[in-house]
Chains A and B, each alone.
Chain A
C-alpha cells in the first residue's frame, strides 16, 4: 500500500478521521482549559461535530477504503448524518443537564465524540472484524458515560450492568465472527457472499451458528427481547442525557450493522433466520409494550417503550430475504430511526427539564399540572407521546406506516397484526402521561435550561412539520441504498 493510497483511504473516511482526531486533540486541550470555563469544551466538541457533519454532507460515494473493510455509500452517508446530528443534539442537552445536576466534567464531551465515531464506523463497516471493533469503540465510552454521575449509586450500578451485559454480548459477536470466518475463510462481507455463492464452505452449519451468535450479540445492543434485561436498569440509572443519547445512538448503530450484515450476507439463510426474527420481533413488541404499562417511573417507562420500538424495527427486518424488498426494508428502517430519534430527543429533554437532584421528579405523578403551568412544554410532550404511539399528524405515524407496509409486502399479515395490536396497547401508557399532565393538579418545577427547552420545542415542531415533507425524507432514505461491493 503506497502512501498515496493511504491518503485516499483517509479521505474516504474524512468525517470520521477528523472527528476522532479532533476528540484526541480535545483530550490534550482539556489540560489547558481553566476549570472555571465550563462551556468551552461543549462548544469545541459541538464545533468538531458540526465540521464533521458538513464533511459528511458533501462527501460523494460510493467508494471502498482500507482494503475493502469500510465503505462509503448512500447508506453510510445517511447514518453518518444521523449520528453526527444526534451527537450535536446530545452535546446541547448535556450542556444544560450537567450544569443542572452539577456534574460538569469535560471528559463527558470527549467520550461522547468517541462514541459517535464508533457509531459512524459501524454504519460503514463492510468487514465483520470492523463491525466488532466499531461496536467496542461505541460501547466502551458509553459504559463510562453511564457511570458518569459517580458516586451516585444508581449510576454506578447502571454502568456495571451495562458493562457486563455489553461485554457478554461482544463475546457472542466475536465468537460468531470466528465461526463465520471458519466457514468461509474470510471476514469481509463481499468475500463471505462469494464463498456462499461458490459453495466452498467448510461446513454450512458453522455459517448458520455464526450468524445466529451475531444476531444474539447485536440483539443485546438493540435491546431485543429476550436480550433486553439490562435496558430498564441502565436507562434508569444512567444520567438522563446519556440515556437520551444511547437510546438512539446504540440502537441505530446496532440496526445499521444488522441491516448491512443480513441484507448482504445472509439472504441465502433467510429460511433459517426469518422465523427467528419473526419470533424475536413479536416478543419484543409484546413484552416492551405490556411491561411499560406497569411502570410508574418515566425513565423506566421510556426504557420499555424503547424496547418496544426496537421490536417495530425488527419487525420490518423480517422480510429481509426477499430480493425485491431489500430496498424497502432498509428505507423504512432508516426512516423510522429518524422519526424515533427526533421523538426520543424531544421526550428526554422534557424528562431532563423536570428531573431534580437525587432522582426526584421522575415519577409519572410529577407531571401533574404541567399542562396548566407550562402549556408550551406540555403541548410538545403531547406531540412526542402521539408520535411514539403512532398517531397522525406526527412523523412517528408516517414511520410506522412505512414499517407496516414493508411487513405486509413481505406477506407477514399476522406479524403486522401483532404490531398493530401492541401499538394500541402502547397508546394507553403514552396517553396516560398526557392525561396526567392536563387532568390532574400539581406544582411541577421546571429547570431554567434554555437548550433543553429549545430542544423540546424544535423537535416537537419538527415532528409535525416533517410529516408534511415525509415524502422527501423517505425518498432520501430510499436512495440510501447499500451498495453491494
Chain B
C-alpha cells in the first residue's frame, strides 16, 4: 500500500497545474478545464485521506464535489456558448467591454 503522502503529492501537483492553467491560459474552455482539474485534485486528496483514516465520509464528499462540478458545467458551458454565438471567439482577451 502506498503511503498517503504520494497521493497528496500528486494531488498537490494537479491542483497547482489547475491553478496555473486558470491564470496562464487564454481560452475559456481550457480555463474551465483547469478549474475542473483543481476540483479533481481535491477529490483525489479526499479519497486518499478517507482511506488513511478509514473514514467513509471523505469518499462521500467526492460525490458532493462531483455533483457541484456538474452543476457548474451546466452554467459555465451555456455561458461560453452564449458568448461564442455573439462574438465568435472564446478568448478571454477579447472580453474587454469594460475597463477601468
Contact = CB atoms under 8 A, between A and B. Distances in A.
Nearest to B5: A203
B75 interface: yes
Interface stretch (A78-86, A292-300, A343-351, A365-373): A292-300
Contacts of A181: 45-46, 49, 58, 61
A147 B76 CA distance: 11
A151 B95 CA distance: 14
Interface stretch (A136-144, A399-407, A414-422, A440-448): A136-144
B61 A168 contact: no
A327 interface: no
B13 interface: no
Given A133-B64, A144-B75, A154 B35 contact: no
User: How many B residues touch the partner, as a band?
Assistant: 35 or more
Interface residues of A, number: 44
Interface string B78-96: 0110110011000000010
Given A167-B35, A175-B45, A182-B8, A154 B64 contact: no
B97 A157 contact: yes
Contacts of B22: 164, 168
A156 B100 contact: no
A140 B71 contact: yes
B79 A147 contact: yes
Contacts of B41: 175
A178 interface: yes
B54 to A, nearest CB: 9
Nearest to A295: B100
Contacts of A140: 71-72, 75
Given A140-B71, A171-B38, A232 B28 contact: no
A185 B55 CA distance: 7
Nearest to B95: A157
A159 interface: yes
Given A164-B32, A181-B49, A171 B79 contact: no
A424 to B, nearest CB: 23
Nearest to B94: A157
A327 B8 CA distance: 37
Contacts of B11: 178
Contacts of B48: 182
A150 to B, nearest CB: 6
A15 to B, nearest CB: 23
A261 interface: no
A174 B55 contact: no
B76 A294 contact: no
A136 B72 contact: yes
Nearest to A235: B98
Interface in B6-58: 8, 11, 15, 18-19, 22, 28, 31-32, 35, 38-39, 41-43, 45-46, 48-49, 52-53, 55, 57-58
Contact of A237 (B52, B53, B58, B98): B98
Nearest to A146: B79
A166 to B, nearest CB: 9
Contact of B61 (A136, A187, A236, A237): A187
Contacts of B83: 156-157, 160
A44 B9 CA distance: 51
Contacts of A133: 64, 68
A132 B66 CA distance: 12
Contacts of A157: 83, 95, 97-98
A309 interface: no
Nearest to A301: B100
Given A147-B82, A150-B82, A187-B57, A237 B97 contact: yes
Contacts of A232: 98, 100
Contacts of B55: 185-186
Nearest to B35: A167
A145 B31 CA distance: 21
A156 B68 contact: no
A30 interface: no
Contact of A171 (B42, B58, B86): B42
B64 A297 contact: no
A483 to B, nearest CB: 23
B79 A159 contact: yes
Given A140-B71, A164-B35, 19 more contacts: A132-B65, A136-B68, A140-B75, A143-B76, A147-B82, A154-B98, A156-B79, A157-B95, A157-B98, A159-B79, A160-B80, A161-B95, A163-B75, A164-B22, A167-B32, A171-B18, A175-B15, A182-B49, A237-B97
Interface of B: 4, 8, 11, 15, 18-19, 22, 28, 31-32, 35, 38-39, 41-43, 45-46, 48-49, 52-53, 55, 57-58, 61, 64-65, 68, 71-72, 75-76, 79-80, 82-83, 86-87, 95, 97-98, 100
Interface of A: 129, 132-133, 136, 140, 143-144, 147, 150-151, 153-154, 156-161, 163-164, 167-168, 170-172, 174-175, 177-179, 181-182, 185-187, 202, 232-233, 236-237, 294-295, 297, 300
22 contacts: A133-B68, A143-B76, A144-B75, A147-B79, A153-B86, A154-B97, A156-B86, A157-B97, A158-B98, A159-B79, A160-B79, A163-B76, A164-B35, A167-B35, A167-B72, A170-B68, A171-B15, A171-B35, A174-B38, A178-B42, A181-B58, A300-B100
